[in-house]
Chain A
Amino acid sequence: MRAANRSDLLMDQPLPHNEPGFREVRVSSTYRDAKLPEKDILKEVEQYGYDEDATFAIKLALEEAMTNAVKHGNRNDPSKCVIVRYAVDDHRVVICIRDQGTGFTPEAVPDPTEPDRLMLPSGRGIMLMKAYMDEVEYRHDGTEVYLVKRRK
């Protein structure tokens, strides 16, 4: 049996956002299952009357974060999972996405708009999340991304 690594242990720790009001969805780490949380989250976003721009932003950020969790975090290992916790109220939408990878250093990710990187096919996910969400914070050594969209 494989020894539990640090990220496995972190997975079972309570998140700072597991207070009442936060819902949790765990999906296996495949692109197919990574789509599953979106529907419920966007349904709540719609129920709270967020506008089209906010919905566009949340959908985009969620897609980017889930792809990063599956691809870069869990390295396409379907035996791993992605945990999504979210809460929606009148003022903001908060989404936390955690993977079971070894983490990364967000500051070390190069700017994709640098002239010599502009035509590289990857590396724009974090930039788009930052452009569209009000807060994007990496926690737990980069294994969790915390996203906030506030009502305008």
Chain B
Amino acid sequence: MPAAESHINVTKRDGVDVVEFVDRKILDELSISELGDQLRTVADATPAVRLILDFARVEHLSSAALGMLITLDKLVKERNGKLRLCNINPQIFEVFKITRLNKMFEIRKSVDDAMIGL
């Protein structure tokens, strides 16, 4: 079976893994499952990983994607790491607000903001 295509671009910045989503839509179960695996690989690669997820390109997000983010957040916390989300457009932020997950995740405006104190 061909390897799943990469759904993320990862760059290191002062020891922080900055993950940019490649896809405009994080909707369907298949690609979310692949995306979750790829994020887990990043989280597992560094002890006490510090992770920033950059949503700049993301225009659509489903409840399955929220579930994947919750699972990732739990995993990062178990490893004494930190996870922050940033560059979330207003429509997507509304999805976080409706589900009240805006209170559960650390959400910042930009990658620069997310770097502060991480």
Give A contacts to B, CB under 8 Å: 31-32, 34-35, 53, 56, 59-60, 63-64, 67, 71, 112-113, 118-125, 127-128, 131
Contacts and interface: CB of A to CB of B under 8 A. Distances in A.
Nearest to A76: B29
B70 A67 contact: no
B79 to A, nearest CB: 17
Contacts of A35: 28
B28 A127 contact: no
Contacts of A56: 60, 91
Interface of B: 27-30, 60, 62-64, 66-68, 70-71, 73-74, 91, 95, 98-101, 104
Given A59-B60, A67-B62, A124-B63, A118 B100 contact: yes
A71 B64 CA distance: 11
B89 to A, nearest CB: 10
B70 A121 contact: yes
A124 B67 contact: yes
B101 A122 contact: no
Given A31-B29, A63-B62, A71-B29, A121 B67 contact: yes
Contacts, number: 61
Contact of A128 (B29, B30, B70, B95): B95
Given A113-B99, A127-B99, 15 more contacts: A59-B27, A60-B95, A64-B62, A67-B62, A67-B64, A71-B29, A118-B101, A121-B71, A122-B64, A123-B63, A124-B99, A127-B63, A127-B98, A128-B62, A131-B98
Given A59-B60, A127-B99, A128-B63, A32 B30 contact: yes
A122 B35 CA distance: 17
A119 B91 contact: no
Contacts of A67: 28-29, 62-64
A124 B66 contact: yes
A64 B30 CA distance: 14
A31 to B, nearest CB: 5
Given A31-B29, A63-B27, A120 B98 contact: no
